[in-house]
Amino acid sequence: MHDIINGFLRFQQEVYPTHKELFKTLATGQTPKALFISCSDSRMVPELVTQREPGDLFVIRNAGNIVPSFGPEPGGVSATVEYAVAQLKVTDIVICGHSDCGAMTAVATCACLDHMPAVKNWLRHTDAARMINESRNHATEKERIDGMVRENVIAQLNNIRTHPSVALALAQGRLALHGWVYDIETGSIAALDTTNNTFIPLAEHPATKL
């Protein structure tokens, strides 16, 4: 906690003064253009990876970068998605998984989670991805985990399409969905190519050619 407090003091004394005008503008409103959904993992920091300033990204972070399908009892994720799309009018949604994900490792290796019932229940939202991943042959455990990370991104993109606000925005052509996987060790990102459901380097993805 001592380090966290010292970090805030450095921000207040050294960083804030250089961004004073930006924060003055943000004090009365926000106009983020993208909703970024990522894992809570401490090694994945959306604003750092994308080099965005405060106010640029509307962010959801949770274990496994999960978006439950829309249901009769929507939770915090559903409410945040709805607010981002219906109120803030974001034009892009990114669902970003990452390498060495603890949540996806637990699912891929069938780890016992009886001691963490809330986590166990939350990860049921990955069942579709798990079944697809288990149907494939993997030479190593790492390949199985990496496959789970990718399939989970695809599954969560399917889930988010069930949200009414997202479905409407997609139908009106004012929203685009993106699936990414961030590699912690190399700092690279692979993006989903929906033409064949494969992940390719972001720099080679068709969307970057616009």
Task: Summarize pLDDT for 3-32 with one digit per residue, the tens.
Answer: 999 999 999 999 999 999 999 999 999 999
* pLDDT of the residue at 205: 76
Contact between residue 44 and residue 38 where contact means Cβ atoms under 8 Å apart: yes
Which residues pair with residue 95 across a beta bridge?
37, 179
Task: Summarize pLDDT for 33-50 with one digit per residue, the tens.
Answer: 999 999 999 999 999 999
Hey, what domains does the chain have and what are their CATH numbers?
1-29 (no CATH), 31-209 (3.40.1050.10)
Q: How far apart are CA 192 and CA 4, in angstroms?
A: 36
Contact between residue 202 and residue 208 where contact means Cβ atoms under 8 Å apart: yes
Which residues pair with residue 62 across a beta bridge?
39
* pTM, entire model: 0.94
pLDDT mean over 178-187: 97
Task: Summarize pLDDT for 102-145 with one digit per residue, the tens.
Answer: 999 999 999 999 999 999 999 999 999 999 999 999 999 999 99
Q: How far apart are CA 13 and CA 16, in angstroms?
A: 7
